[in-house]
Amino acid sequence: MKLLPEEFNWHWIIEWSTPSTAHMHAVKNVYAYGNSKYQRWAVVEYEDFGKALVIDGKIQSSIIDEYVYHESLVHPAMILNGNPRKVLILGGGEGATAREALRFKSVESIVMVDLDEEIIEVSKKYLNEWHRNSFYDKRYKLVIGDAYSYIKDSKEAYDVIISDLVDPEEYGPAVKLYTKEFYEMTSERLGERGIFVTQSTSPVSTPTVHAVIYNTIKSVFKYAISYYVYIRSFESIWGFVMASNEVDVSRIKGVDIEKAEEGLVEDSNRYYDNESHSHMFYIPKYIRSILERERRVSTLKDPIYLPA
Amino acid sequence: MKLLPEEFNWHWIIEWSTPSTAHMHAVKNVYAYGNSKYQRWAVVEYEDFGKALVIDGKIQSSIIDEYVYHESLVHPAMILNGNPRKVLILGGGEGATAREALRFKSVESIVMVDLDEEIIEVSKKYLNEWHRNSFYDKRYKLVIGDAYSYIKDSKEAYDVIISDLVDPEEYGPAVKLYTKEFYEMTSERLGERGIFVTQSTSPVSTPTVHAVIYNTIKSVFKYAISYYVYIRSFESIWGFVMASNEVDVSRIKGVDIEKAEEGLVEDSNRYYDNESHSHMFYIPKYIRSILERERRVSTLKDPIYLPA
Amino acid sequence: MKLLPEEFNWHWIIEWSTPSTAHMHAVKNVYAYGNSKYQRWAVVEYEDFGKALVIDGKIQSSIIDEYVYHESLVHPAMILNGNPRKVLILGGGEGATAREALRFKSVESIVMVDLDEEIIEVSKKYLNEWHRNSFYDKRYKLVIGDAYSYIKDSKEAYDVIISDLVDPEEYGPAVKLYTKEFYEMTSERLGERGIFVTQSTSPVSTPTVHAVIYNTIKSVFKYAISYYVYIRSFESIWGFVMASNEVDVSRIKGVDIEKAEEGLVEDSNRYYDNESHSHMFYIPKYIRSILERERRVSTLKDPIYLPA
Amino acid sequence: MKLLPEEFNWHWIIEWSTPSTAHMHAVKNVYAYGNSKYQRWAVVEYEDFGKALVIDGKIQSSIIDEYVYHESLVHPAMILNGNPRKVLILGGGEGATAREALRFKSVESIVMVDLDEEIIEVSKKYLNEWHRNSFYDKRYKLVIGDAYSYIKDSKEAYDVIISDLVDPEEYGPAVKLYTKEFYEMTSERLGERGIFVTQSTSPVSTPTVHAVIYNTIKSVFKYAISYYVYIRSFESIWGFVMASNEVDVSRIKGVDIEKAEEGLVEDSNRYYDNESHSHMFYIPKYIRSILERERRVSTLKDPIYLPA
């Protein structure tokens, strides 16, 4: 068959994993596009993945699987705490991390600290499927500002602190938010049975960065564990690290999470059930090996950043 | 040197010449984006070429060289006529073809027939550097409609008819506007010393289409000539065909066009001068060979279209 | 920083998942390149993944993770059988499937049926890290030919049949090797406690194809189960389906595979251990949903093929 | 129409003009591939352009238009000299520059100085359509070595010196071969009516580099002129600079080159005739403007290189 060039997609976002590996995604529509004080962003419709938020060339989440990412980020920590009332979210611009936290009936207040007000406004306007009006929930409070300063100045105790920040890219604003010093301050902001959880980049695309984040958290908290989920629109496995000084977070592996969420969570999860849970906490050997080999800890003086 | 993936451009328009050859252009900004009744369009800022109008994946013109294209399209025909008063433009959505025609002091009226009102509105709003308010000149009149019907129904006589249409892409609206039947009707709309000129695709990217357009025009008009100019933002040579029943258009080669435009044209050209003129009308052999080999004529029944 | 174009990679293989999604991999070296009777192939060194075999634009396996794929394909079926002596491999050109099977001490004979002799010769010459001289093991026998005819004409009984074929691409030679009719003949070639296992495409890139393969196998065999592993160089999750008429293959989930392999397998696995095993057999919900929704069965008359 | 990913080309060479503009060319076959002491090279068959030599990601010449490039490089200088007997070629690895020079009946000897013996061997083996056995002509002599040292140490006088070197890429071996100091030594190697000509990069892709090369040559020689031709497989206009201390090279514009070559050149040109000649020496204004604006001269201490 003879193809016509007109039939080829022509509008593409090329997401570079490294200078030698990239993902090409055809764009069907552009809803909005801009440059905020901190980053270049776009709300687009991918041909294959539907609506998505892209920041500085990286897909942040897409409508086909944002729930996989956000349920994985939020639920294990909330369940381990058992009775989360006060929640702190660092980053989380799309509003979906708040949405998942607000589904826990015990939650009384959520503070979300995000640097980039423009992204929040964009999310409010274009990403209703993500935030589901969480921005307007009376338990939700937004603080525009730097997470480092907020954590440093805060006197509060939170039941769960969820870090949903952009990756620590060289020269980017998030590098210091993955350091030992920051995690030490964060650990002091945890209340009784307090749990900290963070996205921790991809263990396969950026294995060193992921392993150093894991190591750094392990060096600060008494208990730490990592877990993983494949995110279709990232075309990669994604990593999370959960930690606590009071709760042995490795116990999550044995929890019947469907039962644990009964009565605790409104309506039902789209992704996170017992079998998905087991999949996430049994770690394939090629990832375990990366963690075992790594000895570095990220510090303000010698931070880790992308790429390794 | 180790490069960071963050430093790579991530937003690209890939312009396919064939399924095996394409140009990649990084996009710096998106001014506007939409789907009209007929086509998908974008007004973007290319990193290397600046602001540009893109329709269905093809750059229509960019700010760095739209004047090369539009002066080349408009001036030779106007000069050959010598005293152009009534001008008809088919297509020409950006308004730059009208701008060039309006620079001729003898011009009393311009009718521009364009199918896609949305593109006109986009041009008015975003492409002021192109139209320079030509849309609002009292000599200018816009007709939204199909050029085929307009030519068929018109009783007017024009001094110069300028076809600035999109390429004849299979299944596209322009295929019939490059046929013998259409050119026959067009030739009847030319007045005394009337000249017809059309863009005629690229002689190197789509040589057969170009050669058939040339052949078709030659089969209809008494006199016909083709000429060429390299358009940086197309990264290709572009072809034009000029024809007449009364004026031997090949005489243009010997004209001192700088002198001919004295008194006739307001202010000075950015590109078109005597030496550029000679460059355009002396044709390299690899293009002449293409023209010599081709025998086909495009008809409504058996039209030529992209790709060959 | 100002980048020089010279510093960009220029030699790429673009692996298309769909017309709207593709992976770009920079090539550092080309070891060999050719067109066999059936396919276009290359042995290249990727910048990021090292040496790899590419057939018709699809990476077949790369040195960084071929063992993840091949251990996952071979070991569960061999363990479930318990005492595999006669093994049949369909496809498997690189020789790594044979390598894994030969590691089982009970194995007395392996027949490998592959269509493309040229790929075998290429593998022998360039992919020693894959086959580790399995091609020259006295228990190994190669048959050049079509797997369909081989299975149809064979009277043998095999303990384990491993299908390591290329994907069922439209017009390709493998479409009929994923049909009900083929699986019925295959099931008759299984001996006592005989197990069949096949690669079954990606549940995320080509979910329908994967689900239909699973359905088709389930419709033929008494017992069937699917399992999954992320393959870094495919940048995707990969699926396998294991089936039997005598052994309840779902029991594999509860097996201590490390213990089961003691005494049975020479030296130790690089990837497949108890935790990796659990990860593979606990299936995330977004994959289970795909399987649940699908009702089609692939037949010779109405076969499934890529893309969905 | 629904396209299958299998129908897309998957093997590409991406030629970067800048970090924001690139050309993609699908590869149909790889004839040979290697890394010499100086550069990475490939002899490939492009889907659209046929056989081509690629060095460090840049197409050097393709079978569809190498004659356009090589006739343009060689003929004007040879004609201006009028009776070329001794010719020096710097670079010219494919052997096609020698081929064109050997077509002049007056030529008694050609010395070709090329750094990279491996490229010469590759050309001998795979590029017969280029060299046409010029490497074995008894008038031809090859010197493997650095052109800078050769010119510095030579005491010879040449009628025509043709520089067919790779572009002056930062850190590359050719940067010093485009400097004032090198051109001064070269001018001393010209005999009576001696002419120097060099390729001088693209005036549109790398306008500053081209203009500085032109300026530098103009600052050294009494007479200098630039000329241009569109090279299809470069998808760009290419520039040449011709210079002399004795012959007013601008006179070439008025020469009837077809007549001048009668009796002087064996068989007939494929591209270079009178009309092509005029096309090359009438320069469009957007190129003239670039030349007029530039004041820099390239020196060993402060050399020009790609990109600007």
Find the range with the poorest average confidence among B51-60, C277-286, D170-179, D219-228: D170-179
* B155: number of Cβ within 10 Å: 6
Name every chain B residue with its beta carbon within 8 A of the beta carbon of C1: 7
CA distance A42 to chain D (A): 19
Neighbouring residues of B34: CB distance < 8 A, sequence distance ≥ 6: B40, B41, B42, B118, B122
* Residue ranges of domains in chain A, CATH in brackets: 9-62 (2.30.140.10), 66-293 (3.40.50.150)
> Shortest CB distance from D3 goes to which of C14, C19, C22?
C19
Which pLDDT belongs to residue A60? 96
Give the β-pairing of B86-91 and B109-114: parallel
Residues of B with CB under 8 A from a CB of D: 8-9, 14, 17-26, 46-48, 65, 68, 204, 229-230, 232, 235-237, 270-273, 275-276, 278-280, 282-286, 288
CA distance C254 to chain A (A): 13
Question: How distant is the alpha carbon of residue B283 from its chain centre?
Answer: 19
> Shortest CB distance from D13 goes to which of C11, C35, C172?
C11
Classify residue B248 as exposed, middle or buried by CB count within 10 Å of its CB (0-12, 13-18, 19+).
exposed
Percent of chain A with pLDDT over 90: 94
Percent of chain B with pLDDT over 70: 97
Q: Is the pLDDT of residue B5 over 70?
A: no
Distance CA A203, CA D114 (A): 48
Amino acid at A66: E
Backbone Cα Rg of chain B? 19
Which pLDDT belongs to residue B118? 97
Q: Is the pLDDT of residue A229 over 80?
A: yes
Name every chain A residue with its beta carbon within 8 A of the beta carbon of C48: 17-18, 20-21
> Shortest CB distance from A6 goes to which of B9, B33, B169?
B169
Which pLDDT belongs to residue C307? 64
**Residue numbers of B annotated as active site:** 164
Once rounded to an integer, what is the mean pLDDT over residues A209-235? 97
Which pLDDT belongs to residue C7? 72
DSSP secondary structure letters along C258-274: HHHHTTTBSS--SS-SH
**DSSP H stretches of helix in A146-284:** 147-153, 180-188, 207-220, 257-261, 274-281
Which pLDDT belongs to residue D1? 37
CA distance B8 to chain C (A): 9
D226-258: b (≥16 Cβ within 10 Å) or e: bbbbbbbbbbbbbbbbbbbeebebeebeebebe
Once rounded to an integer, what is the mean pLDDT over residues B240-258? 97
Once rounded to an integer, what is the mean pLDDT over residues B272-288? 98
N residues, chain A: 308
Which pLDDT belongs to residue C78? 98
Average pLDDT, chain C: 95
Residues of D with CB under 8 A from a CB of B: 8-9, 14, 17-26, 46-48, 65, 68, 204, 229-230, 232, 235-237, 270-273, 275-276, 278-280, 282-286, 288
CA distance C3 to chain B (A): 8
Q: What is the 3-state secondary structure (H, E, C) of A107-166?
A: CCEEEEEECCHHHHHHHHHHCHHHHCCHHHCCCEEEEECCHHHHHHHCCCCEEEEEEECC
Which H or E run contains C188?
Answer: helix C180-188
Contact A285, C273 (CB under 8 A): yes
Residues of D with CB under 8 A from a CB of C: 3-6, 8-19, 22, 29-30, 33, 35, 42, 56-57, 169-170, 172, 306-307
Contact between A3 and B13 using a beta-carbon 8 Å cutoff:
no
Q: Is the pLDDT of residue C117 over 70?
A: yes
Residue from A137, A164, A167, A267 carrying the catalytic annotation = A164
From the list A11, A69, A32, the residue with the least C-alpha distance to A239 is A69
Give the β-pairing of C58-62 and C50-55: antiparallel
Once rounded to an integer, what is the mean pLDDT over residues A270-297? 97
Once rounded to an integer, what is the mean pLDDT over residues C106-134? 98
Search chain C and give the residue with CA nearest A269: C285
Which pLDDT belongs to residue A2? 46
Contact between B307 and A16 using a beta-carbon 8 Å cutoff:
no
Which pLDDT belongs to residue B273? 98
Helix, strand, or coil (residue D295): coil
- Chains with 3+ CB–CB pairs under 8 A to A are B, C, D
Amino acid at D52: A
Give the relative orientation of helices A207-220 and A180-188 as an angle to the nearest 10 degrees: 40
Contact between A4 and B56 using a beta-carbon 8 Å cutoff:
no
Distance CA C24, CA C11 (A): 10
Q: Is the pLDDT of residue A132 over 90?
A: yes
Backbone Cα Rg of chain D? 19
User: For every one of its 308 residues, what pLDDT tens digit does chain D have, with 9 covering 90 and above?
Assistant: 345 566 789 999 999 998 999 999 999 999 999 999 999 999 999 999 999 999 999 999 999 999 999 999 999 999 999 999 999 999 999 999 999 999 999 999 999 999 999 999 999 999 999 999 999 999 999 999 999 999 999 999 999 999 999 999 888 889 999 999 999 999 999 999 999 999 999 999 999 999 999 999 999 999 999 999 999 999 999 999 999 999 999 999 999 999 999 999 999 999 999 999 999 999 999 999 999 999 999 999 999 998 64
Helix, strand, or coil (residue B122): helix
Name every chain A residue with its beta carbon within 8 A of the beta carbon of D1: 7
Which pLDDT belongs to residue C67? 98
Q: Is the pLDDT of residue C6 over 70?
A: no
CA distance C280 to chain B (A): 31
Once rounded to an integer, what is the mean pLDDT over residues B114-143? 98
